[in-house]
Structure 1
């Protein structure tokens, strides 16, 4: 359906002022009212920033993919980015980040550490209140709220082992307390923060606005750790009100808020609208939208039309849209295509080593194949994905290639060397072979691939594997964008391997990858990204080790942890041995706490071994193009933590930004970060 711009302006206004209008008006009044004058995207406090002289937007409509609906509103409980991307706008923690990725104050106004970085002291603001969904003040926040929140996370019964890995690794006594609650079983429900303190956990509150953490080892990056979900506060009175089950499963109507926005309306699978929190502690210093709406888009083909009609203020461009716009200099968007920064995730094919059929029985053909090293290495040495990269970035596809499990920009050695460069050197991708401009992965020549394929087929045929091996890849049903990408990926498999070796089967799920696919173990692999939680490689590497309940990928995606615990089949023994050796290498690295360069070198050896075994296959960085009324270089650019989607201090424009402006933004950003 085509809608002209003038008639749509009325539709947009009606849409934005739909359900919840009365409540919104009263909240805005409580915030001091809103101005009709241009130039302000905030109901009070700081003026909206703008570097181009344009009029900023007061209301903003963004989007989220239909398969990324949140499943939990609890910041302490969730480990999923699609949840945190929502919750970060309504629930604040100790620290945040600025547009350069530097740690910035939030509820903690300042902090310091002792000489060896084992004791960190955070000084809290004294003006933070909790409010309910209607903006009514329910309680005042003090340091006790952080004690209660930390105990919740470290209590195996209450938080079911979620978000415990970082506290276990860094805070003195935390791991012991977790094990104590785990051993207590149901009785752990009655344990409180006083029990945690009595157990000697390294957290204390000397007064209402001071919080002190004692690390078990020197931890110079602890401020990046403390910004993560594990360290968020919770109001004791809310726990009393909701109980354990109620708080664990809280939603936007039952939770309490302390962040910049409230949820005005939530329609699952459709929209989320935010309005300013009238009691936000930092309201005077940050600009906020009068209303922020997130629209769920299940079919990417309609996104551009929504943008054209101003039902979206930003839109990512797919391959076909980019080709159409780029090919026509007279196209209205030809000079408005903007290349975005890489998203903060390292995407990989996460193999499933315990795949099931739809009837629940083991898919032994796949399980035997993926346990074979030669078969796995055919992915890393033979799968040509340039066409798949073009689905992300058809203009500069090789910017998307990912050779590592971790990601560039995560951390640096004392001489400024990126950690991933150490990994590259370990696997032979350094020097001229790794120039960042050409295909970086050292593809084997056709003869080598043929030999490797032959080896895999011979070894697997000997244990009963039949060919071609069918590889189940699940996408969201009804999504044309997902289907197009999957079809390209399927062709990559055919082009790389022929149809006699590995065949990609495109399957569908209705709404939830985790519930419908991963939980019943139906996938051969999922294409998934991991983002840094703090500034050290260990937060990536511990997701893929064994003998750790908190290893997210090993316990939930690859299912290798269950194989190790239950005992491997004969054909899985070499696979398990490889995981055991990798885990030993990671543990050797994590034991080095006083020499950062030596620590990173040890981790690089571990990661290189993991990649050589191809236990998981790195694929892409997400570098896309967009049309937008927001300058993403003004947005929070955190490498760690859940804050990147916090919609404060965004520079926006009534007129769309141009390619030239975005290039200038990128140049200024690079100059500032290098300075």
Structure 2
């Protein structure tokens, strides 16, 4: 369902292949809505500021590009920082700081040429003026990549850069080792001059231009960081290079981003501020939306609350503001594979099979999601979402037969009817996650009447610290909720970068050397057909053989936008480039009675 105003969401199935020539795009499978004639959004009077009012769903753990791993942090970071490359509405890699790039004949050396008119800026908290701190250079890119990899930085996402020569050796080194500086110097990123940066890889990787679109590769402001290592990303100190910067961050309460007037394309940025409270209740946010206090129910806040979906679809106005489209994300439950009884793959498989995904979607989420039986969703190169030979036992048409199989597996594992099982299912604080957990808890209670599953929740930042692989097992739940969304639409970003045993995102603590070997081979493979088969094998090991996780559904965008948002651009990869959005300011004021 599409609203009347203009929304561009060009959602394509991608076939990113590891060829030096780069990426290719498969046919589009979801047609965009018809576009209305282009119109200029009315400008606000000179003494008024055009503001996008929203809510932030939770406190971002960080606004430091080297440290971010979660969607809340990354959403704000992408409004304030830009990297060498970006992603358009078709999820294709496009120039950003880089104007062009090329690979050597053997695919191991990538050279980027950068523009010289993007500058670092700081918003002076005393004067309210923007300070021009000079151009962003290739040296800032080299510094940023090496800082992300520096073990002293403790970036949980540094492992995604291990395709760069020397990256893993440096990231895993002892900072006190005598050769530590030599390892830093050996990392395969080098500023040739102010506008040329060169990367040397461990193996050919045609998807590498996607890697340089990730926030952990963004240039970082060395002088600001070294002057204030722990607080440089706070309001008043942060130095940014994108269309917005941070003006206010009242921790736990309120965030405000403001337009950077020194941004290279500032004349085309209509929205001058993005602001809102931090609200951890979707129902509260929905009340604000219906009172015209906020302009959308979407990232960085909340989608519409699950109990309101039927009402929204039936309401003549809200139904026209509802937007649903496929999204490159998977909602899943992970099992801590090292924690009994989920150290037994049969137990994991039984609990995964006992979830009635179709009922969950039809009766609770109601967002046109698709039942998931694999980790990567449709639209990601190497996915097996249409191959029921992988995980098809999770999404049978006959749920009674599926349930009987789950009960048989659990009995075979030594827990008939769940006898002796007392486990915790944990999720981050959210009404929707709580409702889904309660529904699945009820399914498990029916399937395994002698098992006890207790639901707990934690605030987002605490939750992430509980789940990191090196946190003590005794503090972890046996089952946890997470979602994974594409950083770039290739299976390398899914099976390899999440569940490789080296990954900082491997919260399941899944460890299978055969799986690691397959995904690492796929990352080096140049033949897309061979890569596809390798990724199918990786999904087979992860889902069918070991059942390290239980995929539940492939996400959709389920959002509400006020009709005065006249242009909303959504990238399937990077989400919301608000600098490209527009607001009919007079219409918004009229709706608010101003």
Q: Does 1:487 align with 2:453?
A: no
Q: Does 1:213 align with 2:199?
A: yes
Structure 1 equivalent of residue 127 of structure 2: none
Give the Cα–Cα distance (whole angstroms) in 2 for the partners of residues 188 and 74 of structure 1: 27
Give the Cα–Cα distance (whole angstroms) in 1 for the partners of residues 399 and 145 of structure 2: 53
Aligned residues: 530
The verdict on how the C-alpha distance between 1:547 and 1:100 changes in structure 2, with shifts beyond 3 A counting, is closer
Partner residue of 1:603 out of 535, 546, 550: 535
Which structure's residues are more often helix, by fraction? 1
Give the Cα–Cα distance (whole angstroms) in 1 for the partners of residues 508 and 253 of structure 2: 31
**Structure-to-structure mapping, 1:389-400, within 5 angstroms:** 389-390=361-362, 393-394=365-366, 396=368, 399-400=369-370
Q: Does 1:82 align with 2:82?
A: no
Partner residue of 2:307 out of 320, 323, 333: 320
Superposition deviation, residue 313 in structure 1: 0.6
TM-score by length of 2: 0.80
Partner residue of 1:61 out of 53, 62, 69: 53
Gaps of 5+ in 2: 1-34, 44-49, 125-129, 298-302, 589-594
Q: Does 1:101 align with 2:91?
A: yes
Superposition deviation, residue 373 in structure 1: 2.5
Partner residue of 2:144 out of 136, 149, 166: 149
The verdict on how the C-alpha distance between 1:187 and 1:263 changes in structure 2, with shifts beyond 3 A counting, is farther
Which structure's residues are more often strand, by fraction? 2
Give the Cα–Cα distance (whole angstroms) in 2 for the partners of residues 151 and 100 of structure 1: 30
Give the Cα–Cα distance (whole angstroms) in 2 for the partners of residues 87 and 587 of structure 1: 29
The verdict on how the C-alpha distance between 1:207 and 1:392 changes in structure 2, with shifts beyond 3 A counting, is farther
Give the Cα–Cα distance (whole angstroms) in 2 for the partners of residues 616 and 389 of structure 1: 19
**Structure-to-structure mapping, 1:265-664, within 5 angstroms:** 265-284=248-267, 286-315=268-297, 316-327=303-314, 331-333=315-317, 335-354=319-338, 367-390=339-362, 393-394=365-366, 396=368, 399-411=369-381, 419-421=382-384, 424=387, 426-427=389-390, 441-442=395-396, 446=400, 449-450=403-404, 452-457=406-411, 459-461=413-415, 467=419, 469-475=421-427, 480-495=431-446, 497-500=447-450, 502-510=451-459, 512-514=461-463, 517-518=466-467, 519=471, 521-545=475-499, 547-548=501-502, 551-554=503-506, 557-560=507-510, 579-591=512-524, 593-612=525-544, 613-629=546-562, 634-639=568-573, 643-653=574-584
Deviations 1:243-271 (A, max 9, x none): 4x555xx4233221111112222122222
Quote the RMSD (CA, aligned, Å).
3.3
Superposition deviation, residue 511 in structure 1: 5.6
Q: Is the 8 A contact 1:382 1:444 kept in 2?
A: no
Give the Cα–Cα distance (whole angstroms) in 2 for the partners of residues 309 and 621 of structure 1: 31
Give the Cα–Cα distance (whole angstroms) in 2 for the partners of residues 516 and 126 of structure 1: 39
Dislocated runs of 4+, deviation >6 Å: 186-189, 630-633
Deviations 1:173-216 (A, max 9, x none): 3334435xx13437788x4xxx56852x3322222111122333
Gaps of 5+ in 1: 1-48, 355-366, 412-418, 430-438, 562-578, 657-675
Give the Cα–Cα distance (whole angstroms) in 2 for the partners of residues 220 and 585 of structure 1: 18
Give the Cα–Cα distance (whole angstroms) in 1 for the partners of residues 38 and 195 of structure 2: 40
Q: Is the 8 A contact 1:353 1:559 kept in 2?
A: yes
Q: Is the 8 A contact 2:328 2:380 kept in 1?
A: no
Q: Secondary structure at the residue paired with 1:614?
A: coil
Structure 1 equivalent of residue 8 of structure 2: none
Superposition deviation, residue 503 in structure 1: 3.8
TM-score by length of 1: 0.71
Superposition deviation, residue 488 in structure 1: 2.5
Structure 2 equivalent of residue 160 of structure 1: 154
